[in-house]
Amino acid sequence: MTATRTRLVLGNWKMHGSLADNAKLLSALLAAPRVASTAQMGVCVPFPYLAQTAQALTGSSIAWGAQDISTQAQGAFTGEVSGAMLNDFACRFVLTGHSERRAMHAESDQIIADKANAALVAGLTPVVCVGESLAERDAGQALVVIARQLAPVLALGADAVQKMVVAYEPVWAIGTGRTASPEQAQEVHAAIRAALRGVGAEQVQILYGGSVKAANAASLFAMPDIDGALVGGASLVAEEFLAIAS
Ligand code: 13P
């Protein structure tokens, strides 16, 4: 069938930035003429910079969001940030289950599904990240791992899943300069698409992430099931990020 999915290019600033550096980056993004691009752009920034980002980007075509969300609505959860708080800054997106949070904060597949659900309850778009480690890939387990990671998310049902974005980020390609080949990525994206189709959510955007740069973005986007990118390091450099989205 014909793909009707809009290309989506999201930056994940991770734990980078300062008020001064962000001001420069955001104004460089805003200054660029984007007439030729049909891609939707967005940036997922550290919590303390949501106010600055919202102020800079309000009224522009660039969306913004956060990098994590609590499963809880409110209460004694020190250090956590709720969906309602993200709404106070007009966030559109929130990353859930980034591999760095899975690895460093022991977030389980179920916790990540709960976070995706919390985002939906707040009216935010969760960007559910999945991806295998190098050991899992070498053991031929990539698709099994992705299926396991997705299972509790898909269990939320078609109505919920249709409002999500999925990002495939192989752990071995993140920050390493080693991108998955377009064919390697497409194989996994096709499997994710099949799983989404299985729950009636075939048109969900599936982003690729892991060392995406201006030099490799076009070959990735040429694949039928790669609908955009989740960009780490290159999203901190305005020209690179803009070139990826152009
Ligand atoms: P890099 O683009 O720096 O490899 O990071 C990818 C990523 O983790 C985006 O969420």
Question: Averaged in consecutive runs of 10 residues, what is the pLDDT profile of the chain (246 residues)?
Answer: 80 98 97 77 98 97 97 98 98 97 95 98 98 95 98 98 98 88 97 98 97 96 98 97 94
Neighbouring CB atoms inside 10 A of 167's CB total: 27
Q: What is the pLDDT of residue 179?
A: 85
- From the candidates 98, 100, 136, 189, which is the catalytic residue? 98
Domain 7-245 CATH assignment equals 2.40.440.10:
no
Verify whether ligand 1 is closer than 6 Å to residue 230 (CB atom). yes
Q: How far apart are CA 197 and CA 185, in angstroms?
A: 18
The protein residue whose alpha carbon is closest to atom 2 in ligand 1 is 232
Verify whether ligand 1 is closer than 6 Å to residue 107 (CB atom). no
Q: How far apart are CA 202 and CA 197, in angstroms?
A: 4
Q: How far apart are CA 125 and CA 127, in angstroms?
A: 6
Q: How far apart are CA 9 and CA 23, in angstroms?
A: 20
List the structure tokens of 199. Answer: 């729950």
Q: What is the pLDDT of residue 1?
A: 46
Q: Hey, where are the domains in the chain?
A: 7-245
Verify whether ligand 1 is closer than 6 Å to residue 131 (CB atom). no
- From the candidates 100, 107, 132, 169, which is the catalytic residue? 169
What's the 1 CA to ligand 1 centre distance in angstroms?
A: 30
Which atom of ligand 1 lies closest to the CA of 173? 4
Cα 122–123–125 angle (5° rounding)? Answer: 110
**Amino acid type, 168:** Y
Q: What does the radius of gyration of the chain's CA atoms come to, in whole angstroms?
A: 17
List the structure tokens of 33. Answer: 């003429």
Based on the residue annotation, tell me whether 107 is a catalytic residue of this protein. no
Neighbouring CB atoms inside 10 A of 220's CB total: 22
Neighbouring CB atoms inside 10 A of 202's CB total: 16
Q: How far apart are CA 192 and CA 206, in angstroms?
A: 8
Based on the residue annotation, tell me whether 136 is a catalytic residue of this protein. no
Residues whose CB is less than 8 angstroms from the CB of residue 10 and which lie 6 or more positions away in sequence, other chains included: 41, 42, 43, 44, 65, 93, 127, 165, 167, 207, 228, 229, 230, 231, 235
Q: How far apart are CA 163 and CA 141, in angstroms?
A: 28
What's the 118 CA to ligand 1 centre distance in angstroms?
A: 24
Verify whether ligand 1 is closer than 6 Å to residue 233 (CB atom). yes
116 touches 125 (CB < 8 A) = no
Q: What is the pLDDT of residue 35?
A: 55
Q: Map residue 182 onto helix, strand or coil.
A: helix
